[in-house]
Amino acid sequence: MGKSSKYEAKVPDENGVIHYTDAEHAVWADLYKRQMEIIPGRVCTEFLQGLEALNLPADRIPQPNDVSNVLRERTGWEVAPVPALINFDRFFKLLSEKKFPAASFIRTREEMDYLQEPDIFHEIFGHTAMLTHKAFADFTEAYGKAGLQASKKERVFLARLYWFTVEFGLLGAPDGVHIYGGGIASSPGETIYATESPEPIRRPFDPIDALRTPYRIDIYQTVYYVLNSMNDLFELAEQDLIGLIRKARALGQFEPTYPPKEKEAA
């Protein structure tokens, strides 16, 4: 969140409407169509129910106000349009106020498959469906409040908890694992990889273990944590997250399960 981005934020007008070009709407339409063909049978029931409730348009970028209207009714949340990257203080404050920060730009066609910073497709398609679910919404709010209290070093550990739940969380199911994390659900490649590949490690979710697990943002994940049920997040929202971080710090981080990042040529 402290890095720069080549993308510029779209600023809502006086009525809260963000104006996109036809080309940008077309990017959304293609991303939406592609992902809707892949996620059935791979995302969890709660995710699909959230998408149904949101009724996102297939042919244009949804307006934050429209998404917020559904979220407010379901869980009291809303969407807050933000620039491509925001600092941690603002990020945690928004979450603590039940406002989900959504970058207002959409990726270019050159970065349809992967971009490092989250865009409006990742934020709206990937995340807001689960914010219609109370357990997920309550945990996200508790996470924001913990982040406001955390020190700079504690926030490094806290970022891991977000990564392995909100972004890359899996849910156990009789037929294997299903996706609830937005980082997976908005990525066609990782949707299939996370649920079907024999390569990654899938560990039962334990918050201390997740807090001790390093990760890379530029590769498919080598480790996923699997909830027994969404009620696990209800229970986690009631715990002392800062206390859990201190326990994890005392134990030390796990050895990385991924290769070191290659150094760029000078």
Residue 90's domain is classified under what CATH number? Answer: 1.10.800.10
Residue 111 lies in a domain: yes
Residue 255 lies in a domain: no
Query: SS3 for 188-246, per residue?
Result: HHHHHHHHHCCCCEEEECCHHHHHCCCCCCCCCCCEEEEECCCHHHHHHHHCCHHHHHH
- Which residue type occupies 133? H
pTM (predicted TM-score): 0.93
Whether 118 and 216 have beta carbons less than 8 Å apart is answered as no
Domain that holds residue 241: 22-250
Instruction: Report how many domains make up the chain.
Output: 1
As a whole number of angstroms, the distance between CA 219 and CA 196 comes to 16
Residue 17 lies in a domain: no
User: How confident is the model over 205-261, as pLDDT tens digits?
Assistant: 999 999 999 999 999 999 999 999 999 998 999 999 999 999 999 999 999 999 888
As a whole number of angstroms, the distance between CA 137 and CA 233 comes to 9
**Residue 117 has what pLDDT?**
83
Residue 6 lies in a domain: no
Instruction: Note the Cα 121 to chain centre separation in Å.
Output: 11
Please identify every stretch of the chain with a pLDDT value under 70, giving residue numbers as ranges.
1-4, 263-266
Closest by CA to 101, choosing from 73, 122, 116, 115, is 122
Kindly tell me the burial class for residue 64, based on how many C-beta atoms sit within 10 Å of its own C-beta (0-12, 13-18, 19 or more). Answer: buried
Number of other residues whose CB lies within 10 A of the CB of residue 88:
16
Q: Tokens for 245, please give them.
A: 């971080």
For residue 99, list its beta bridge partners.
Answer: 78
3-state secondary structure of 93: helix
Whether 108 and 21 have beta carbons less than 8 Å apart is answered as no
**Residue 2 has what pLDDT?**
44
- Tell me which residue has tokens 């077309």: 26
Contact partners, residue 45, CB within 8 Å, separation at least 6: 178
Residue 178 lies in a domain: yes
Residues catalogued as catalytic: 122, 127, 167, 186
Residue 15 lies in a domain: no
For residue 81, list its beta bridge partners.
Answer: 102
Residue 262 lies in a domain: no
- Which residue type occupies 139? F
Residue 225 lies in a domain: yes
**Residue 4 has what pLDDT?**
62
